[in-house]
Every structure is written in structure tokens, then in C-alpha cells.
């Protein structure tokens, strides 16, 4: 479970890039975080994961504060960044073992999981190659495998499907559904509205740092009194925000 309470962030004095966001992401749900480029999706995610400091408010991960109890909070999450270009000098297997060490995954368990997951995502044969030699899609896959490896309760995924081939995208979406069915939490940002419409239990729409809507797609349609696609609803609600700002 993720709880965001009155979260704000400013990069310049008096100019908020995240403006008083409140969100409760429940166990057992897939929550889609939608917004135009520069809306504040990645900044919000980086605050949830403790990469960026919070200027105002509080974030709780399974009741653990990311501010006052960051180690316990971070143990409860698995994070896929929007940029997979990291640990490039390591071999794939070295990186996965490093992550397994950090999260104290037992030796036998890690070997089984690494083999299973790397085969599912078609990177098993390149685990002894350096990550710098991987394509963008392969780098994305190994980051995803590293998250699944330690099986965290809360998945925080920033544009996780970018760069994935259709087979790997299919696997990941199924794993997201399976994870939620086991009463875990999946929070992911995406710009692919069709995927959000098919996959998410609820969505949040953010623009210019303000949370414009939280709920189901059907609730959004009822609020707008229109039986139209999520894409059309998204364009309508973000354009109104642009006009009013």
C-alpha cells in the first residue's frame, strides 16, 4: 500500500512542480499514473522511491515513512526507472547478484529466479555480457528482472513497457496482473493510454504538478457524462487544465 499525503516539490523558490498531491494506492490494485510529458509523473515516482527529497508532506509505504524510516520503506518496493542506462560496466549476472545481495535473496532461491526470469525475458544467453553492450530494450529487461528477483510487495514502474518487444511486454503485463491478484500493489506511469485502459483498476491524471482526477475510467466517463475513449477523456481533462492555468 502506498500513501501520499499532501506532497509538494519545488525546484525554484515559489514554483511548485508537484502541488499538494494526495493518493492512496491500495493492496491488490494496478494503478496507472497518466500525464503529458513534464506533468510531474517521474518527479512523483522519484519522491516515492526516496531518490528525491519531499519538500512538503509525507509518503508511507506499507505504513513505513520514506522520510523517517527509509530503509524499511525501500525494502518494500521494487523500482523500474524510466532510464535503464545504469551499472553499465557490470555484467548482467553481476548486476543481478548485486541486487540479490542488497535484498538478501538466498543463494539457491536467487539462482532459480535468475534462470527463470532471464529466460522468460530472453536475456539468459547474454548474462555474461556487460550491460553496456545491451540494446536499450535488453537493458530495460534486466532492470525488470532485477525488480522481480527480490519479489517486493510494491512495484513502482516508470514507463516500464518502453523498449520492450511484444513478447516481453506480454509477460510483464501478465506479471503485473498476477502480482495484484496476490494482494500486492502495482503503481506505474505510462503514456500508452490503451494499455492503461485495459490494465488498470484505477488511474490518476496529473498535469503541471496537479492531480486532476483519481478513480476508475468508468467514474471518469460518468463525471464527464461522455461515453468516449480514455484517450479523448485524457485530452479533454488536460486541455481544460492548460486553459485554466
pLDDT value of position 202 = 95
Instruction: Please state, for a pLDDT cut of 90, what percent of the chain lies above it.
Output: 60
The CATH class, in words, for 1-76+187-245 is alpha beta
Question: Which tens digit of pLDDT belongs to each residue from 52-72?
Answer: 999 999 999 999 999 999 999
Instruction: Using CB atoms within 10 Å of the CB of residue 114, give its burial: 0 to 12 exposed, 13 to 18 middle, 19+ buried.
Output: buried
Question: Which tens digit of pLDDT belongs to each residue from 138-174?
Answer: 999 999 999 989 989 999 999 888 878 888 888 889 9
Give every CB contact of residue 48 below 8 A, 6+ residues apart in sequence.
2, 4, 59, 61, 66, 77, 156, 187
Mean of pLDDT values over 180-193: 90
Measured between alpha carbons, how far is 66 from 13 in angstroms, rounded to an integer? 24
Every domain of the chain and the residues it spans? 1-76+187-245
pLDDT value of position 165 = 85
Among the listed residues 114, 179, 112, the one whose alpha carbon sits nearest the alpha carbon of residue 141? 114
- Tell me if 142 sits within 8 A of 131, measured CB to CB: yes
pLDDT value of position 225 = 66
Half-sphere exposure of 21 (CA within 13 A, CB side): 37
> Residue 155, Cβ neighbours under 10 Å: how many?
24
Per-position b or e across 163-173, b if 16+ CB within 10 A of its CB: bbeeebbebbb
Cα separations in angstroms, 77 against 48, 70, 151, 195: 9, 11, 9, 23
Mean of pLDDT values over 90-101: 95
Confidence band for 244, pLDDT divided at 50, 70 and 90: low
Amino acid at each position: 500500500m502506498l500513501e501520499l499525503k499532501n506532497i509538494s516539490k519545488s525546484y525554484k523558490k515559489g514554483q511548485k512542480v508537484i502541488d499538494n498531491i494526495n493518493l492512496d494506492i491500495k493492496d491488490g490494485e494496478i494503478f496507472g499514473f497518466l500525464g503529458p510529458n513534464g506533468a510531474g509523473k517521474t518527479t512523483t515516482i522519484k519522491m516515492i522511491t526516496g531518490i528525491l527529497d519531499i519538500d512538503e508532506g509525507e509518503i508511507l509505504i506499507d505504513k513505513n515513512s520514506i522520510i523517517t524510516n527509509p530503509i524499511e520503506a525501500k525494502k518494500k518496493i521494487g523500482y523500474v526507472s524510466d532510464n535503464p542506462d545504469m551499472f553499465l560496466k557490470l555484467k548482467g549476472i553481476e548486476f543481478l547478484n548485486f541486487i540479490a545481495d542488497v535484498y538478501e535473496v538466498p543463494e539457491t532461491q536467487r539462482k532459480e529466479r535468475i534462470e527463470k526470469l532471464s529466460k522468460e525475458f530472453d536475456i539468459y544467453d547474454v548474462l555474461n555480457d556487460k550491460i553496456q553492450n545491451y540494446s536499450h530494450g535488453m537493458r530495460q529487461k534486466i532492470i525488470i528482472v532485477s525488480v522481480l528477483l527480490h519479489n517486493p510487495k510494491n512495484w513502482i514502474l516508470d514507463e516500464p513497457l518502453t523498449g520492450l518487444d511484444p513478447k516481453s511486454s506480454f509477460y510483464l503485463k501478465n506479471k503485473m496482473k498476477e502480482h495484484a491478484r496476490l494482494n500486492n500493489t502495482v503503481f506505474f506511469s505510462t503514456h500508452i493510454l490503451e494499455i492503461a485502459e485495459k490494465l488498470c483498476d484505477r488511474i490518476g491524471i496529473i498535469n503541471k504538478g496537479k492531480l486532476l482526477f483519481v478513480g476508475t475510467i468508468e467514474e471518469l466517463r460518468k463525471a464527464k457524462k461522455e461515453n468516449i475513449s480514455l484517450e479523448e477523456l485524457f485530452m479533454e481533462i488536460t486541455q481544460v487544465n492548460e486553459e485554466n492555468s
